[in-house]
Amino acid sequence: MDWLLNLRAVKGRAYPRAVGGLREPSWMFFDTLLPLLGIAAFVFYYQALGAPEVYTGYVIIGGAMTAYWLNVLWSMATQFYWEKETGNLELYMMAPMSKMSVLAGMALGGMILTSVRAVSTIVLGVIIFQVEMDISSPGLLAAVFITTLIALYGLGMLFSSLYMLWGRGAWHMSNLMQEPIYLVSGFYFPVREIGFYFALGAAIIPITLGLDAMRQLLFGNETQGLLPVTTELALLLVSAVAFIVAAHFALKKMEYLGRKEGRLTMRWQ
């Protein structure tokens, strides 16, 4: 394997996503300030109910992480499907680099651009709503955050191949998965509230455990987590490896079907 070629492919696909979005200032406005409106709605709702102050922090962290989930759904999972629709997929198939490097570049660029929105949401939310956080273990917090993103974008890589095989169902599948994940992953409330075993099942989506662990690390004793942070971090590591390996084999299957059958939208047999 030509590692230099694949590294260049990663850089080539990451650059337009990391830099391109910054060239349109209006996008930064819409991606930074408008999401605060949805967060504010939940904050005011909890305040009206007399919920503990820590719930405001839950909403801000969850609202910031929605940026990554939406990026995975619409900029990762559907990517190859849209490349096919625009006539670029053949170029990817003929190019000599690994298709995993293409997706890795998309993921890296998406993380960088999306992080601008997420960090801005957290900073503005903390300032506006006067949220207090206690970061007692910054190293562990960074490890949880990075592992969550790796697992989440690994899931996006897997979806990108499956969506190609599902064809036009990709668009509907993304719409179907967007809102329910907000509920079962506990974006705006502690996931344990939906029931321990139900929440444990929802942990197949990496952001479920990632959010729960980050809230425990940011708000300390005020947060009753689903599982201990170290356990959740270990499960996230397993998820990251599993999704990336599954994505690799799914990509191989997609390429095989494309070259053998001459089409990329048939279902697996």
Interatomic CA distance for residues 81 and 76, integer angstroms: 10
Contact partners, residue 93, CB within 8 Å, separation at least 6: 255, 258, 259
Q: Tell me: the pLDDT tens digits for 53-82?
A: 899 999 999 999 998 998 888 788 777 777
Q: Tell me: the pLDDT tens digits for 122-152?
A: 998 999 999 988 888 899 999 999 999 999 9
Q: Where are the domains of the chain?
A: 3-261
Predicted local confidence at residue 121, as pLDDT: 87
DSSP element (H, E) containing 26: helix 25-32
Predicted local confidence at residue 216, as pLDDT: 92
Q: Tell me: the pLDDT tens digits for 190-243?
A: 999 899 899 999 999 999 999 999 999 998 765 678 899 999 999 999 999 999
Closest CA to 60 of 141, 144, 127, 142: 127
Per-residue tokens: 150: 């790796």
> Predicted confidence band at 266 (pLDDT cuts at 50, 70, 90)?
very low
3-state helix vs strand vs coil in the chain, percent to 5 = 80, 0, 20
Single-letter code of the amino acid located at 160: S
pTM for the complete prediction? 0.88
Predicted local confidence at residue 96, as pLDDT: 82
With pLDDT > 90 as the criterion, what percentage of the chain qualifies?
35
Predicted local confidence at residue 222, as pLDDT: 58
Predicted local confidence at residue 230, as pLDDT: 93
Interatomic CA distance for residues 77 and 241, integer angstroms: 18
Q: Tell me: the pLDDT tens digits for 241-256?
A: 999 999 989 888 877 7
Closest CA to 249 of 182, 184, 154, 179: 154
